Amino acid sequence: MAIYNYEALKDGKEIVKGKVEAEDVRAAKDEVRRLGFMPTKIYEERIGRDAKSDAAAHVKSGQMKALGLTDKIEFTSTLQILASSGIPMIESLLFIEQDAAKLKIRLVARELRTQIMAGSTFADTLAKYPDQFGQVYIGLCKAGEDSGELEKTLDRLLEIMGKQQAIRGKVIGTLMYPAFVICLAVLIVLVMLMFVFPVFKDMFSQMGKELPWITDTLMKIGIKLRQFWYLVPLLLGSVGYSIYYLFKWEPSRRWIDKVSLEVPLLKDLMQFSNFANFVAVMQVAYDAGVPIVECLYLSMLTLTNYTLKEKIESATTLVQQGQHLSVALRSTESVPKMILFMIATGEQSGRLGEMLYQATRYIDKKLDDIVDTMTKMIEPLMLIVIGSIVLTLALALYLPLFGSYVE
């Protein structure tokens, strides 16, 4: 199979250009005619050896390359622009395959194009790769394709993924400062214990006085750490892995999620960061004509807090039984009251989609306020932590000296 560039007439007057894949020039002309165009010029495109070998390797493996959030945004953005310009899906994917900046995006486009050319729809092809695109992405694309508004759905997906990226950036940015301070504090403590305290050992011994308990304890710890220094990286690695495992292991993660909803300010962060994606997906799915129960199921996939997810599952069951959405969500006692009020107003006025959109704007603003408040609170807390560490180390070093001066 080779790739051919073509120039053709659309409706007998408009000149269009594109690319098709075919066995030879004659097959390429037939493919252009199948697209509804009248071919005027067709020539084979020469592809570099590297691109061919990469694509061949991908086809041989038969596996879809995983896309990160940034990659999905780039892929969806290009596809949405091309689709909204009236370019057919196969040609749009072919363009991405040839011109995308990242290799894995080109390979993904090739895999999707191959499946579609074999007779599958775009949504059905995406459904074969749930681990790469996610159920929310697949579900919304299917809804958009079924309603004939795939271009609008792709545009809304871009908004959702942009929102997810912004929320992730806010949370990471908020946690970056305390994480840096904690790492710096650990490094300072290790340097003091392993290199500074042992230097004072002989001087304190010559005083012939009993050392204060804090000095004696830190001195012994420093000597042991210096003696068994090779255990320090192992200890730090074990602590880091233990923390990571606690957040990944389901029983401990469920406990952490439950406790986080009981801490005042952290509760607001968890609620609004989870419901930001939840409401945004619900709004897009509802506008695409998806039934409200399926909207809830799609939206629920965005929730990362186990406790909130279980409560929304119970609300979904109530909606299936005929309960109003706002009443079902209110029974969970986990959705912010302002969001409930907006949803109830939308149900009563028949403008649920519009009110869901207003709810997303409200959540975004509220989340910004929460992050700003947490950032302002973290700074003095970190100063207190660092100050306490410095004070403890200073007291351990100078208490013996103060004792000798007094006597």
Residue by residue, pLDDT tens for the chain (407 residues) are 677 777 776 765 667 777 777 777 777 777 777 777 777 677 776 544 444 444 444 433 345 567 788 888 888 888 888 888 888 888 888 888 888 888 888 888 888 888 888 777 888 888 888 777 887 888 888 888 877 778 888 888 888 888 788 878 877 877 788 888 888 888 888 888 888 887 777 777 777 677 788 888 888 888 888 888 888 889 889 988 998 898 888 899 999 999 988 888 888 888 888 888 888 888 888 887 888 888 888 888 888 889 999 999 999 999 988 889 999 999 988 888 999 999 999 999 989 989 998 998 898 888 888 888 888 888 888 888 888 888 888 888 888 777 655 55
Task: Provide the residue range defining the domain that includes 2.
Answer: 1-46
Which pLDDT belongs to residue 255?
Answer: 93
Q: Please check whether residue 124 lies inside any domain of the structure.
A: no
Q: Please check whether residue 13 lies inside any domain of the structure.
A: yes
Q: Please check whether residue 29 lies inside any domain of the structure.
A: yes
Which pLDDT belongs to residue 153?
Answer: 82
Give the residue among 133, 63, 52 at the shortest CA–CA distance from 97.
Answer: 52
The C-alpha atoms of residue 331 and residue 338 are separated, in whole angstroms, by 15
Which pLDDT belongs to residue 138?
Answer: 83
Q: Please check whether residue 38 lies inside any domain of the structure.
A: yes
- Cβ atoms 346, 332 nearer than 8 A: no
| Residue 226 burial by Cβ neighbours in a 10 Å radius (0-12, 13-18, 19+) | middle
| CA atoms within a 13 Å half-sphere pointing along the CA-CB vector of 127 | 12
Q: Please check whether residue 340 lies inside any domain of the structure.
A: no
SS3 251: helix
Which pLDDT belongs to residue 47?
Answer: 47
Q: Please check whether residue 231 lies inside any domain of the structure.
A: no
| CA atoms within a 13 Å half-sphere pointing along the CA-CB vector of 80 | 18
Total-model pTM: 0.67
Helix residue spans in 22-102 (DSSP H): 25-34, 49-61, 69-84, 89-99
Task: Name the domain count of the chain.
Answer: 1
Q: Please check whether residue 162 lies inside any domain of the structure.
A: no
Q: Please check whether residue 8 lies inside any domain of the structure.
A: yes
- Cβ atoms 204, 400 nearer than 8 A: yes
Contacts of residue 400, Cβ cutoff 8 Å, sequence gap at least 6: 204, 207, 209, 211, 212, 215
